[in-house]
Structure 1
Amino acid sequence: MYLEKRLLVRDFLIEPVPQIDLTEFALHGEEILDQHILSVIPALREKNIAVVDASGTVTGLLILERVAEHLVDFIRETEAALTAVLGVTDDVICMIDSQENVTGWNRKAELLYGIKCQDILGRSIHDFFTNLVVTRVCREDREVYAEYHQPRQDTHVLINSVPIRRDGRVIGGVSAEKDVTEVIQLNRALSRASYQVKCLKEAIQKNEIKRVDPFAKLYGHHPRLKAIMDVARRAAPTDATVLIRGESGTGKEVLARAIHEASDRAGKPFVVINCGAIPAELFESEIFGYEQGAFTGAGPRGKPGLLEMANEGTVFLDEIGELPPNLQVKLLRVLQERVFYRVGGSRPVSVNIRIIAATNRQLEEMVSGGEFREDLYYRLNVISVEMPPLRERRSDIPELLYRFLQEYCQLYGKEISKVEPGVVAALLSYSWPGNVRELKNTVERMVVLAENEVITERDLPKYLREHALGFAAARESPPDLTVAAKETEKEIILKALKEAGGNRTVTARLLGVPRSTLYYKMNRLGILGAKKPLRKN
């Protein structure tokens, strides 16, 4: 039970009245105080109760009329609290009783399904829906979490549903549904626009589009990702040190490269140093380099270190939390003075570098525990951003899916035209402990193993295939997404026009279509102004 009020007998006691006539009361010891009030109601119907202590002194009274008033107040308060909960949540909430009649229906449910409370409350839920999860969990007495469901032809949800139990008996059920219709529709729209995306990507790779946004490689439109990119854009033109936090696989190195490419150091070296992968005994020679004869096995001409190789560019210190304490002080001096000595050398080496660091560990806790130098932490933590895990930006999964799909189709020479809805739903409901990297590897696997032009649930890895067992309903014909496809097509053309500086000939070449086709599409989509009629070719 997650509610504070337990309704114990002690909560219903009233003070004893002086000169009370105990013959009107049944006497009970104090052991009754921790019993549930409902357990003593039958006794109260026979006779009011007086609670006495070990010495026989009356410590409190239970009077049926006062208990009934208290219970009525509790029921009203509980009803008010339940109404507030139903109104404040962003999920669709539906409750049914043992007869499968609707007993709860919140405002979000009204908005999603267009059914008012007064029209559905008290009526059988089967008058409005079929193939329901909430009725199934009641009948089977089991719980369901994050299951894909399609209650209507044009609606897609992820649903949590549990039975309502009392004394071990199912007396109803409740379901909470998260509307994912928009991301499913986006999945369809992206599929239909795959050709245009492919052409634009090829054009970017061939450097035919100028002023490419380095942050475009960070796929997704989630508000948290956009906020991170906004901070990164403002930090990029400076030489301020950036600390990127986040779980493994969230795209920390991709963000670091974008910051480098958006800075004045673009075109200069971007050197990655994995602090956890270089053995401690080799760290100094790899990072700082060495002079000839510095140690046994050293080359006759010496060797520049990674910091020298990054001069005038950017150094990306990945897994900075794994750096041994004895090496942290040496790195600190480089950050402070941009000067170091090669191993075995006596001549100082100066470098002009920008530092970007990344970690998946809690550096603050490491500082408190003496595992990480406090002064190094403050040197690194000038501008700090945290990449969100994929499970916290699930709305980006359809876009990531189709971006990676196009990449691996080109790599392996395959033509994938469609992804089954059950596959998308399984990807949406999975927690992705490996984040974007795990999703990318999963897409590569599916492309390699796909036997035809459609990726089905059979192509999912075994652990993901289990998530797809309940997705059969998603295989029904998808809703018409003509409008969404047109909007996507319009957005792509406008973006190409902007990149081409308004030159329609260049735009047509970037999109890989004849100029006449571009003019036709611009006219159909309302991009051409009224004063610029469609010209014939």
Structure 2
Amino acid sequence: MKPKIAVTSSYPELTTLFRRVSEEMATPAIVVEAVLEEAVQKLQEVLNQHKIEVIISRGGTAETLKKNFSIPVINADATDFDILQAFWKARKVSHHIGFFTYDHARLESDFLAGMEEIIGCPIRQFIYSNIKELQEQIIAAKKSGVEVVVGGGNTGVQLAQKAGMHGVLVYTSRRAVVRAFQRALEIIELRQKDLEQTQWLKTIIDHAFDGIVALNQEREITVFNPAAEKILGLPREKVLSRSADTLVSTLLPAPLLMDGTEETEKVLRLGDAQIVFNRVPIMVEGQNIGMVITFQDVTRVQRLEQRIRKELYNKGLISRFNFDDIVYCSSIMEKTIERAKQFGRTDSTVLIIGESGTGKELFAHSMHAISDRRKGPFVAINCAALPENLLESELFGYEEGAFTGARKGGKPGLFELAHGGTIFLDEIGKISLNLQARLLRVLQEKEVRRVGGDRIIPVDVRVISAANEDLNRAVQNGEFRSDLYFRLNVLNLKIPPLRERKEDIPVLINHFLNKFNRKFDKKVTSIPSYLKELMLSYSWPGNVRELENIIERYVILEQNNQASKELECYFKETFQQPDRSEVNCWQGDTITVREGTLEEMELEIIRKLDAKMNGNRTLLAQKLGISRTTLWKKLKEF
């Protein structure tokens, strides 16, 4: 662990204390024994070799460091009690006491008077800001009759002794040192969090397909991402940190920036190309502090639309599976299939709930295949696969001229194409609230209106939807409309995850072996028993889809004798991840722990929370309402 903290010490005992606390807190620190200008010089050498994030110092040295470095400096100053102890010790030597301190730490007159009353003698205060001034003040104190020098660090004590006076150090207590290290760790954690958020945001901006330009309150350009460079044909170094007003006439098109008023979905021609842009002011407590402009090349939007439409239509509009295609032997799946068959023979809406990879679309196909609508079309769409504007036009269609690039004559939506049949809306929980409102109207009125059109088109469609999340919780969080949820959830089918029907695993293994033997012209008849045991012990977060992928890999690699070794490594690595059962100990905001001693239950809470947070100790500390240092101490105790 590389040190991120540098410490300056003014006397040997403090050096020892700093190093002891650093070791006890498992926080590596580089300790430099120097004060004032000398400390600046030595710390500069440390910074040249190490990536130091926080400096701990005290007194005048701390103030000197703040003036010379941009790194945060934490004061480990002595407490009032530490100062009183030094005065009490000095009084035993002489009643002629001089207190030497840096300007920022000078004692207030009432505090000094209180100290004088406690020790029963006067105290003169001498202020210095560097070693030269400290030397001068020592001489002045000697001339004024001071016999004992308090403060000034080890240097002050040495100078006092050289001038024929006594010197008393003001010792920093262990408590002050510990608190300084704790504050240093908090600053490092905050800086790391800020760095992660900054890098996270930068990565998003730099890899966005949309051009992004941001202006600050002074209308200086602060963000100009690679997509903006490509679309506008400008290198960012020509525009960053420059005033937008001076660039409009020479480099940037005026309509893009204007005066900061909000504009959405505006079309702008740049030579032979066209861009669609949005301009939004940044408001903080009613004050405009900047502006963000996003834009896309129209030709790219058109290519994306064409590709997505092609992929959708390549899927076909027919049901390709039935209940005979579902492989199982468990009683829980038998009950699920019986329930699905019962639902399939009705015309009511069905909501399928199940984790990713459990086969929700397979059940939707099968229910359509035994329904009275089986001769009609079966249309499936993944609602999370498309952006909102494309999803809207895909579901409800559009009229000619509804938007740039719209097909001549318009295009029917999937609800129209599913007329007389079934539409399967996968990942229904991912659609926006705006589209939820339109979908609710279609379900209630059984009619659609195309984008950009004014004609009402009646449709006769049975809706089967699916989600891999708790839509009821989404309703409670305001992320999903309650009226749409109740409309979709007339019939509810829950697909059990593979870990709840492990007796199906051997049957599924044989099924997928046969499937991939045919596909790859192989003759793999079985897998080793120890691998089967690993599979039966595994929690299968990816469910049947994950099992299918593993068997496909095994069949491909089996000829080179790599399969068994690779699968064994796969399971051993995965077993080290948090078990889904740890996550399933949560029900809403509740966690269940076994009865035991307070220490045992506290440990179990922390362990299960740690699994929930995927090992992120910062989130874990926030969830527990404690600092990372306190969390570290608890984990060390356990």
TM-score, structure 1 as length reference:
0.46
Structure possessing the higher relative contact order (Cα contacts under 8 Å, 6 or more residues apart):
1
Task: Give the number of the structure whose alpha-carbon radius of gyration is greater.
Answer: 2
TM-score between both structures, scaled by the size of structure 2: 0.39
